[in-house]
Structure 1
């Protein structure tokens, strides 16, 4: 298995002639990291292979024969396809695992010219050894996503800013890390906005001014409101974010982050960790830490699974793969996190 740290992958992707692995895997519970790694791979594929993208969801509608047929197709003009497999749950049934293994073997043996990108949640050690996943990890290039905690959040801010052409001092990095309370998406959004108006050195005043001048409805306050169970505020915020033109994708990321936080904090406590240690491990800091206990009492495995399914629906609607209003799905997810049971999933 070849493994590349996410930071290295993002840096080398900016250089001319950056390597393009034929098989890339990204397994992480951090939505920002998954999007960054996958977006760069898609960009490199378009530039270097002029590839057409085909998305395959590894769900109950997965067709093994149709999937394998994608790898068997060979163009007279030498066109290469990017086949992207997305998992919403870190598991495969026997048929899915066999199809994935077969596709990996064809790639490894040079029998298919096509590219394969596989993304999904973080794998356990047991899953890494299971059929399908073991083939992917053995033959592909894996993007390693290091966990960002309180002790290295400021360093992550500095590195992210540097990739955007910004030079942030220690004081500015520490302030942004503390005020985004461990939410990588919030910090990344602030850096992106700074990069639109600044280049080079960035002072603490610059960062504080940027954060204070943000929109009336902050997408990253939405998560705390949902954890707190404030359904009225959640409804108002989602309506306001839509009116202000906030990207639906960003709102979805923020809600997924809270689902992940509840799930992983519960799992850590089942392993015997205290609430404080579990929160620290899963980057639940500041205001969010005050409300995570309430949220864990409201949610168990079944309700989190339902909300995850709604996230999947919202993502497909945002990307035009399914009809409907994505903001309706986002409201259902937000209110569901806050404690209002979501309706039954729509028929597909």
Structure 2
């Protein structure tokens, strides 16, 4: 069974689940999911927690031994296994398949052990690992909870849910402020909401009060700016670049990311002019369904001439970043974002304005 984070609490209330598979790279959702599962188990008498980690020296046989052993401290146990890598090797795969078989046999014989809960967790799984026999077997017995980064559309819903749980009351302006400042940094936003709950309780929080307290802790990575750029939100691109500069982001990596994306846009727009369809381009460049609206917008609003201007400017920015130190490369990259949509205006200005 596969569920998502917003379905977790409801699923926990429905029935006993002996195996949980929690995998993903978003830290807040992972911590919250693990603590929610453990707290629900604890409320049902699972007092003992045994932890394992699948590092190089790990003896996988311990899992089978632990499952079959009688608890010395409590009748109900949580066995938590952190998979430090999706590649668990032949030994790990063999043991997990055997564990699955024993759990299945116990269920079929009417001796299902409801005194043990397994929680396997780790980083995001690739497609190959999710199709392994050991993973499919565990998934059939339990529940798979993949954790994804919240996109811009999902974040307001998450914020409202958290505010409701904390009994927080704030104006729509405060909600917009929090979303702007903490986009890309869910753990910091969660902490900020808890702080506001302690300070204000159920009182209505105004924008002025929030501005005096809230600290800008939004975090972005170089790839997130590409999505914003494809949406045509140049103002937000500049804000992200400013944040990346404050965080000390590597200029070389940013230039590489921009070049990769803009060069692909150049190829796609060139093929569109030759009569190729959007659908064919999405298939050729392996554009996921979720990202197709981004490219639809970009390919509709960016001209081939402006992409060519942007590539020329990016080459100049790369040279300046490597040969001269008096230029603010992040400012030049902001110019690049504007050029992609308004190149007919920016070409009138020389990049050498540092």
Scaled to the shorter chain, the TM-score interval is 0.5 to 0.7
User: How far 1:41 sits from its partner (Å)?
Assistant: 1.2
Give the equivalent residue in structure 2 for 1:117: 119
1:227-267: CA deviations, max 9, x gaps?
xxxxxxxxxxxxxxxxxxxxxxxxxxxxxxx8xx57xx4xx
Are 1:65 and 2:61 matched, yes or no? yes
For the pair shown, the structure with the greater C-alpha radius of gyration is 2
Give the equivalent residue in structure 2 for 1:39: 35
Give the equivalent residue in structure 2 for 1:294: 251
Question: After alignment, is 112-121 or 76-85 more displaced?
Answer: 76-85
8 Å CA contact retained: 1:85, 1:119: yes
Give the equivalent residue in structure 1 for 2:166: 164
Give the equivalent residue in structure 1 for 2:149: 147
8 Å CA contact retained: 2:124, 2:147: no
1:257-309: CA deviations, max 9, x gaps?
x8xx57xx4xxxxxxxx96139989x9972444554537479xxxxxxxxxxx
- Cα 1:191–1:182 change in 2 (3 A) is same
Partner secondary structure for residue 4 of structure 1 = coil
The TM-score normalised by the length of structure 2 is 0.58
Structure 1: give runs of 5+ residues left out of the alignment: 213-217, 225-257, 266-273, 299-348
- Cα 1:9–1:209 change in 2 (3 A) is farther
Q: For residues 104 and 208 of structure 2, what CA distance do their matches in structure 1 show?
A: 52
Q: For residues 171 and 139 of structure 2, what CA distance do their matches in structure 1 show?
A: 38
Q: For residues 126 and 229 of structure 2, what CA distance do their matches in structure 1 show?
A: 20
Are 1:136 and 2:86 matched, yes or no? no
- Cα 1:159–1:77 change in 2 (3 A) is closer
Partner of residue 99 from structure 1, selected from 70, 95, 101 = 95
Partner secondary structure for residue 53 of structure 1 = strand
- Cα 1:190–1:11 change in 2 (3 A) is farther
Are 1:276 and 2:242 matched, yes or no? no
Q: For residues 197 and 10 of structure 1, what CA distance do their matches in structure 2 show?
A: 27
8 Å CA contact retained: 2:100, 2:137: yes
Q: For residues 280 and 38 of structure 1, what CA distance do their matches in structure 2 show?
A: 35
The TM-score normalised by the length of structure 1 is 0.59
8 Å CA contact retained: 1:158, 1:167: no
1:33-67: CA deviations, max 9, x gaps?
11000011111222212331111101101102222
Question: After alignment, is 102-111 or 286-295 more displaced?
Answer: 286-295
- Cα 1:12–1:127 change in 2 (3 A) is closer
Give the equivalent residue in structure 1 for 2:23: 27
Q: For residues 207 and 10 of structure 2, what CA distance do their matches in structure 1 show?
A: 25
Give the aligned length: 241
- Cα 1:280–1:140 change in 2 (3 A) is farther
Q: For residues 156 and 250 of structure 2, what CA distance do their matches in structure 1 show?
A: 26
Q: For residues 191 and 77 of structure 1, what CA distance do their matches in structure 2 show?
A: 38
1:184-205: CA deviations, max 9, x gaps?
1121111011122333343333
1:98-129: CA deviations, max 9, x gaps?
21222233333335441100111111222210
Where has structure 1 moved over 6 Å in runs of 4 or more?
278-281
- Cα 1:181–1:146 change in 2 (3 A) is closer
